[in-house]
Structure 1
Amino acid sequence: MEKIPQAAFREAIANALIHRVWDIDSHIRVSMFDDGIEVVSPGGLPAGITAEEYLSGKLSVLRNRNLANVFYRLGFVEIFGTGITRIKQLYAESLIKPDFEVSENAIKIMLPLFETNVNLTEDEKVIYKLLSKTMLKSISEIAPYVPFGKSKTTHLLKTMGEKGVVAVEGKGRGTKYIIK
């Protein structure tokens, strides 16, 4: 089973190459982490397109038409302007969604590990999205970001621990949680 959808990774790399600004002396950066892959492309959005239009997939402006045509003919991209939409579709069933960050000088796509833990309740899924596979978090680091009180959050974390989804380390005030 793929931890990160191959098609999403291919789309992120193709987008970075096709839409990057080539006159900036910078490189595309691909970083691999325990919880995902980050692809950063130099250059922001082309003139005439907003971040909202780009992220919604409503509008795409080809910055490098010749390169885009080569990728299309080689079968690396299917239809121009659908990369972000396809990445989102590939993660539709995942608990953790990709993150897209657009700035004036770069576009960053974070592809998380594909997680579909279907045996979680909706409330447990809310908590699961806040947890990490690499960093222990205490109840005081989780509770402010969920719509439940501390006691319900603690109970949900305990249940998730019993299901084998979350590891519980420590006792009392020193209790911390991490995704198994």
Structure 2
Amino acid sequence: MNREGPSLEYKAAITSSFLKTVSAYANYGRGKIIFGIADDGSPAPLANPIQACLNIENKINDSIEPRPRFSLLPDLQSSIVTLTVEEGLDKPYLYHGKAYCRNDSASAPVDRLALSRLVLEGENRTFDSLPSSQQDLSFSILDSTLRESLNIENTDDNVLKSLGLLNRDGYTNAAALVADKNSFPGTDFVRYGSTVDVIASRSSNSGISVLQQYQLALDYYETYCVVEVIDGTRRERRELVPARAFREAYVNAIVHRTWDVNANVQVAINNGQVSITSPGGLPSGITEFEYREGRVSVLRNPILAGLFLRLQLIESLGSGIPRIKAAYEETSCTPSFRIGPESISVMLPFVTAHKGTKDEQDIVRALQSGTELSRAQLQVVCNLTRDRTLTAIRALIKDGTVKRVGKARASKYKLA
């Protein structure tokens, strides 16, 4: 017997409390309620499953507005009834004037922000298409970008309309996002030292064009994710993180994030990797598997995504995750993804040219952000034992990859 969870609920009896869950499933995704089973999974047979179906249907029809799509399947042998509720298109689905969502195995009212998002979904509208609260906007950055990328000499109203930035109601939120100044959040850039309690450098921006945010992100990448290696008489540019992967991950973060929350995208360097975290979980209509495989692209901000596509900052819609993975194909590293209800993080490990053991590569990667780390710190960062850490350090010092700084217990290590 499966335990109760986000898409499954048991009910020993037919009371009105199940209607909260019907609202939640209709708003956020298909789910089942099985009547005739107690919360702990033990049998609680219904006296008359056929009559129970009628009672359940009447309660839904009388209490949920608008009427959701559902089906009822009575099992006369087990004396249970399975109610399956489909995610609907006419959101929000309300019970006693409130919309509900699932919180693990419980159903709870949504907050004001979530309700506004449901209303937009039901109207088949997106946040970036709504009229902006700011109408006094300037577009010098957009103007120069269009001139350089598309040879558009004059960014007049007709151009703005064709890009979805202007309509009969005025400038859209998408227009405000690309405007020179706005009231939207931006990006935090953080580089940690030996631990997350040590910040080596930090900068933030907000209230500026997303096009300017993108350029600042590229500048950050060039400063901290690219090094010059001298090979004889030649200077060789070496990317610690594949540029293609960084660009795709950052563009995905700003194009697909939720812009109705006051939270910045975060770009952080720590433990030999760059992590890029964007506010907002997966958009409605896409599963975690589909996201990771890049099989489906559900656009949270289609106007903004379309503009980035035309500016060739996105190569093709829905290809971001496969391209990030492809950028690492010829390396010994693999990017990873962490998907939560309120944020998505992409972790891009540093690529090392060192061909030694995995322990040695992990230590080199941990030192590539330019920090000096002790043996104990490397042991923690690389998740190694003391002996394995010392063995790898000695090998790296011997081949000239790493050098010791300081003496005795004060010793730290850095790339040579």
Paired residues of 2:267 and 2:276 also in contact (CA < 8 A): yes
Q: Say whether residues 1:7 and 2:247 are aligned partners.
A: no
| Partner residue, 2:338 | 101
Q: For 1:60-112, what per-residue CA distance to the aligned partner results, in whole angstroms no more than 9, with x for missing partners?
A: 32212222222222211122222122122213344554453322222233445
2:395 pairs with one of 152, 159, 174? 159
| Partner residue, 2:302 | 65
Alpha-carbon distance, 1:158 to partner? 0.8
Letter in 2 for 1:163: D
| Partner residue, 1:76 | 313
Structure whose residues are more often strand by fraction: 2
Q: For 1:130-163, what per-residue CA distance to the aligned partner results, in whole angstroms no more than 9, with x for missing partners?
A: 55641413258528934x782x543332111111
| In 1: Cα distance, 2:290 partner to 2:412 partner | 40
| In 2: Cα distance, 1:117 partner to 1:142 partner | 19
Letter in 2 for 1:155: T
2:285 pairs with one of 26, 32, 48? 48
| Partner residue, 2:68 | none
| In 1: Cα distance, 2:271 partner to 2:366 partner | 16
1:110–1:153 distance in 2 versus 1, CA, 3 Å: closer
**In the comparison of the two structures, how many residue pairs are matched?**
177
Paired residues of 1:16 and 1:40 also in contact (CA < 8 A): yes
Letter in 2 for 1:136: L
| In 2: Cα distance, 1:136 partner to 1:79 partner | 41
**Secondary structure in 2 matching 1:145:** coil
| Partner residue, 2:7 | none
2:383 pairs with one of 121, 125, 145? 145
Paired residues of 1:165 and 1:179 also in contact (CA < 8 A): yes
Paired residues of 1:131 and 1:137 also in contact (CA < 8 A): no
Q: Say whether residues 1:90 and 2:327 are aligned partners.
A: yes
1:140–1:111 distance in 2 versus 1, CA, 3 Å: closer
1:160–1:97 distance in 2 versus 1, CA, 3 Å: same
Larger relative contact order (C-alpha < 8 A, sep ≥ 6)? Answer: 1
Letter in 2 for 1:125: Q
**Secondary structure in 1 matching 2:346:** strand
Paired residues of 1:57 and 1:84 also in contact (CA < 8 A): yes
| In 2: Cα distance, 1:167 partner to 1:61 partner | 48
* Percent of paired sites with the same residue: 37
Paired residues of 2:351 and 2:365 also in contact (CA < 8 A): no
Paired residues of 2:293 and 2:321 also in contact (CA < 8 A): yes
Gaps (5+ residues) in structure 1? none
Q: For 1:106-139, what per-residue CA distance to the aligned partner results, in whole angstroms no more than 9, with x for missing partners?
A: 2233445442223x24553355455564141325
Q: For 1:23-48, what per-residue CA distance to the aligned partner results, in whole angstroms no more than 9, with x for missing partners?
A: 22333344567966543322111123
1:20–1:139 distance in 2 versus 1, CA, 3 Å: closer
- Cα RMSD of the aligned pairs, angstroms, is 3.5
Q: Say whether residues 1:20 and 2:262 are aligned partners.
A: no
**Secondary structure in 2 matching 1:63:** coil
| In 2: Cα distance, 1:72 partner to 1:165 partner | 41
